[in-house]
Amino acid sequence: MRELIRIHEADDPRIAEFRSIRERDLTGRDSRFIAEGTVVLRMLIGAHCAGGDFAAEKLLLLENRVEGLAALLQELPGEVPVYVASQPVLDAIAGFHLHRGVLALGHRRRNPAPAQLIESLPAKALVVAAFGISNHDNVGAIFRNAAAFGADAVLLDETCCDPLYRKALRVSVGAVLAVPYFRAGSTAEILTTLAGAGFSIWGLSPAGAVEIREVPAADRMVLITGTEGEGLSPEVLARVNTARIAQAPGLDSLNAATATGIALYGMAMAQGRL
């Protein structure tokens, strides 16, 4: 049976990183992050044990959640401490009512340079590049879709929000911890590196030249997606092939996550990877 360390006081220094996690989310962090909920915890432990890009540092669980998590905790190496608390103590630590009762602190083991990550991609590759996505739900949904359609990587330009934020991680159902990614560089730099690596580059736009399900297959394909309101900039669209998703006349009304899902599905089908 896994050793559990009981926390009685919200100000116990051993769980300091879990204090007031809502405010913490607003202030940005180093390469550490809070994983919330069983689904994300499972992905974190999976990455930890597989020697992936992410490692677990410590867990903080509601006492009555421990039994249901027993099998998962068995997989966790012994050097990662597991703290448990009652609901009142847990709520006092987190700063709000944490009904899920499952928190973990993780960190990024390594942060591959953009050129290095792109170079490491297989000869047949499907990649998503997202430019200027500032909404945590949307960035999380992009990772979830990337995982669903077997994409090899997600490339975020430096203006995207951090996918390791608690809410983005949750919306991604932990896919942020499973799909290789970077968040660095300008859109111009990323496009140049992709072109140099032989990628067929497709940007989504309501005025795109090719309907998304008619995009021709290529060994290496990348989908570029922009912000929900403004979309991709004219500078980006001028440098790439453009694809559209047919919609009813009137407003361009798909949300960013759904548009990315439809486009990735089309490109993955074109490549015959599903």
- Which residues form the interface with its own copies (CB under 8 A)? 141, 144-145, 147-150, 173, 175, 213, 245-248, 251, 253-255, 257-259, 261-262, 265, 268-269, 273-274
Beta carbons within 8 Å of 162's beta carbon, 6+ residues apart = 28, 29, 168, 183
Query: Do residues 187 and 160 touch, judged by C-beta distance below 8 A?
Result: no
| Burial of 115 from C-beta contacts in 10 A (0-12 / 13-18 / 19+) | middle
Least Cα distance to 221 among 256, 182, 185, 266 occurs for: 266
Query: Do residues 257 and 175 touch, judged by C-beta distance below 8 A?
Result: no
Least Cα distance to 121 among 222, 53, 217, 212 occurs for: 222
Strands lying side by side in the sheet with 102-108: 5-6, 82-85, 54-62, 102-108, 32-36
Q: Name the amino acid, one letter, at 186.
A: S
- Cβ-based nearer residue to its own copies, 239 or 244: 244
- Cβ-based nearer residue to its own copies, 28 or 229: 229
Min CB(252)–its own copies separation in Å:
8
Strands 5-6 and 210-211, bridge-based pairing:
unpaired
Min CB(166)–its own copies separation in Å:
17
- Cβ-based nearer residue to its own copies, 65 or 273: 273
Beta carbons within 8 Å of 180's beta carbon, 6+ residues apart = 53, 112, 117, 120, 152, 153, 154
Min CB(107)–its own copies separation in Å:
25
Min CB(267)–its own copies separation in Å:
12
Phi, psi of 22 (to 5 degrees): -65, -45
Least Cα distance to 110 among 162, 52, 163 occurs for: 52
Helix crossing, 136-148 with 256-270: angle to 10°?
Answer: 20
- Cβ-based nearer residue to its own copies, 7 or 175: 175
Min CB(138)–its own copies separation in Å:
12
Min CB(211)–its own copies separation in Å:
8
- Gap between the Cα atoms of 136 and 161, Å rounded: 7
Min CB(60)–its own copies separation in Å:
25
Min CB(171)–its own copies separation in Å:
8
- Cβ-based nearer residue to its own copies, 161 or 171: 171
- Cβ-based nearer residue to its own copies, 81 or 180: 180
- Cβ-based nearer residue to its own copies, 145 or 187: 145
- Cβ-based nearer residue to its own copies, 107 or 244: 244
